[in-house]
Amino acid sequence: MFPATHMPRRQLLQSAGAGFGWLAARGLLGADSAAEPALQTGHHFPARAKRVIFLFMNGAPSHVDTFDPKPDLQKYEGQQPTSKLERPSKGSGYMSSPFRFRPHGDSGVVMSELLPKLSEVADDLCVLRSMHTDEPNHEPGLLIMHSGHPQPVRPSLGSWASYGLGSENENLPAFVALSPGRPVVGPQLWSNAFLPGQHQGTAVDTNEPDVNKLVTNIRNPSLTRTQQREQLDLLHFLNRRHANKRQNEESLEANIRTMEMAFRMQSAAEEAFDVALETQQTQADYGDTVFGRSCLMARRLAERGVRFLQVYYVNKGQKQPWDTHNNNNSKHQQLCADSDRASAALIRDLKQRGMLDDTLIVWGGEFGRTPYAQKDKSGDPRKAGRDHHNTGFSMFLAGGGIKGGTTYGATDEFGMHAVENRMHVHDLHATILHQMGLDHTRLTYRYSGRDYRLTDVHGRVIDDIVA
């Protein structure tokens, strides 16, 4: 390699030209992927969960059709809610669920018939029936669930986990978001915001079943690994000289680290993302759907050291499939069948591999859906939907040191409001971080003159659900 001060101009352009292709790899990790994790805090106390897999149901599932049975809805079918906070459309009233609920497992966790596979792992689930959040609209609701704040730009939960703990695998990112296309809000849901750039989530479009197309630029079409290494070394040398003249500006450091990570990922990602390497039985257990393959991919990445995984339930051409403003019952039958199978397969698979104890599974959406009907334009009551609902809804946790076979909290007799052991999204975030060995009050970052944290000035760890 020529010294940079004596390299002929033609040789410099010829040598560096192929290396410029590496800049495309920035898209793999996000435009602001960044520098050394110099600000990590490490564990504040022993962790129960080494990793988190967040199964996110975009659009918000109906709690009264899945995890929160409300027989009184049948008794008051069609009657208008009396609360001033609830204003259903004229002619609509309470709508009971047509789906049967019964207890499952040795613990007797009650679930809907829509979830037969999850019912088989009921003793591993901690169902949260008293969740509530601040906003009933998708964009702010999504932002609160992912970043603790209804407006951009704040770091996401996965970015905070990456910032606090770093990566367990230098060849793969600490934080990966698996989604078939962009969900509503998009990259802000896995944004690092003001945290150092390497803590941004790596977004992977799982619509593409071919692993060679799934991850952009996973293979170089013309250069060998040795040639790539030589090109990258040259670029690194030139970039370092450039950065040193600018007092090691963070954005330049971000680009340098991005290229290094992209090179290392070429040796690890192709195998890690390839679900076709799994047995036919394992693939069948998860289901041959985008969400099923995404869950299986998440398990493969988790066992290879990826610390935080977000798996989005998004249909091609439909960013909010669980947003059932019409045909609530028939749509939930379809959606639950897919989600139920893959979610339960993930739990069983992790358990069989001895990974469930230190992997925390989170399942849920940005809020719930109303216990009363939303009229369909046709007027056909069989096509009625449910509207957005934020004052009471359900999620579940599994593994990662959480008490299995438990139900925490309750909504009122109609499923309208969380009334017993109320659990805000801030409390959920505090509890997730706690299971990862992080104190949410100490995981802070100073930006623009103040100390920021995921839970702001809110949040408490829900000790009652910790094993």
In a domain, 404, yes or no: yes
Measured CA to CA, the distance from residue 351 to residue 163 in angstroms comes to 28
Asked if residue 247 and residue 289 are part of one domain, the reply reads no
Half-sphere exposure of 341 (CA within 13 A, CB side): 18
In a domain, 42, yes or no: no
Q: Both tokens of residue 140?
A: 């702010």
- Paired residues of 103 in beta bridges: 110
Kindly state the greatest CA–CA separation across the chain.
Answer: 86
Q: Are residues 313 and 429 in the same domain?
A: yes
- With beta carbons less than 8 A apart as the criterion, state whether 403 and 125 touch: no
* Residue-level pLDDT at 268: 65
Q: Is residue 131 part of a domain?
A: yes
Same domain, yes or no, for 321 and 177? yes
Q: Is residue 44 part of a domain?
A: no
How far is residue 272 CA from its own chain's centroid? 18
Domain total in the chain: 2
If asked whether residues 9 and 93 sit together in one domain, one would say no
Tens-level pLDDT at each residue, the chain (467 residues): 434 444 454 444 444 444 434 333 433 333 333 333 334 458 999 999 999 999 999 999 999 999 999 999 999 999 988 766 666 666 589 999 999 999 999 999 999 999 999 999 999 999 999 999 999 999 999 999 999 999 998 999 999 999 999 989 888 999 999 999 889 999 999 999 999 888 999 999 998 777 766 666 666 667 776 776 677 677 767 777 777 776 656 666 666 666 565 656 666 677 888 999 999 999 999 999 999 999 999 999 999 999 999 999 998 778 999 999 999 999 999 999 999 999 999 999 999 999 999 999 999 999 999 999 998 888 888 899 999 999 999 999 999 999 999 999 999 999 999 999 999 999 999 999 999 999 999 999 999 999 999 999 999 999 999 99
DSSP 384: B
Do 95 and 125 fall within a single domain?
yes
Cβ of 139: how many Cβ atoms within 10 Å?
15
DSSP per residue, 173-191: -SEEEEESSPPSSGGGGG-
Q: 177, 189 in Cβ contact below 8 A? A: yes
C-alpha–C-alpha distance, residues 213 and 311, integer Å: 19
Collect all residues with Cβ–Cβ distance below 8 Å to 31 and sequence separation of at least 6.
none
In-domain check, residue 127: yes
Are 302 and 196 found together in one domain?
A: yes
Whether 371 and 349 map to the same domain: the answer is yes
- Integer Cα distance of 167 and 202 in angstroms: 13
* pLDDT score, position 35: 33
Q: Residue 419 has which token pair?
A: 């009334």
User: Given this model, what pLDDT does residue 244 score?
Assistant: 74
Is the domain of 263 the same as that of 303?
no
Give the per-residue pLDDT at 258: 62
pTM of the complete model: 0.85
Residue 80 lies in a domain: yes
Instruction: Tell me the torsion sign for CA atoms 408, 414, 415, 421.
Output: negative
Residue 328 and residue 384 in contact, taking contact as beta carbons nearer than 8 Å: yes
Cis, peptide link before residue 153, omega less than 30° from 0: yes
Residue 251 to residue 230: CA distance in whole angstroms? 23
Does 206 share its domain with 294? Answer: yes
Residues 148 and 115 both lie in one domain = yes
CA dist 191 and 16 (Å) reads 31
Q: How many CB atoms lie within 10 A of CB 136?
A: 17
Q: How far is CA 260 from CA 225, 267, 384, 403, in A?
A: 13, 12, 53, 40
In 3D, which of 287, 297, 281, 279 has the Cα closest to residue 208? 297
**Helix 328-352 vs helix 290-302: crossing angle, to nearest 10:** 30
Summarize pLDDT for 193-249 with one digit per residue, the tens. 999 888 999 999 998 777 766 666 666 667 776 776 677 677 767 777 777 776 656
| Domain membership of residue 353 as a residue range | 50-215+281-465
Using only C-alpha atoms, what is the Rg of the chain? 24
Last residue of a domain, one of 272, 296, 316: 272
Here the tokens at position 330 are 């028939």
Do the domain assignments include residue 40?
no
Is residue 346 domain-shared with residue 239, that is, in the same domain?
no
In the listed set 237, 272, 307, which residue is the last one of a domain according to the structure?
A: 272
Q: What is the pLDDT of residue 373?
A: 94
What pLDDT, on a 0 to 100 scale, did the predictor assign at position 32? 35
What's the CATH code of the domain at 170? 3.40.720.10
Last residue of a domain, one of 272, 295, 318: 272
Specify the pLDDT at position 280.
Answer: 97
Residue at 36 is within a domain:
no
Q: Which residues contact 151 (CB under 8 A, 6 or more apart)?
A: 140, 143
* Tokens 């027989």 -> residue: 71
Determine the pLDDT at residue 95: 96
Instruction: Report residue 379: phi and psi, to 5°.
Output: 85, -5
233 plus 204 within the same structural domain: no
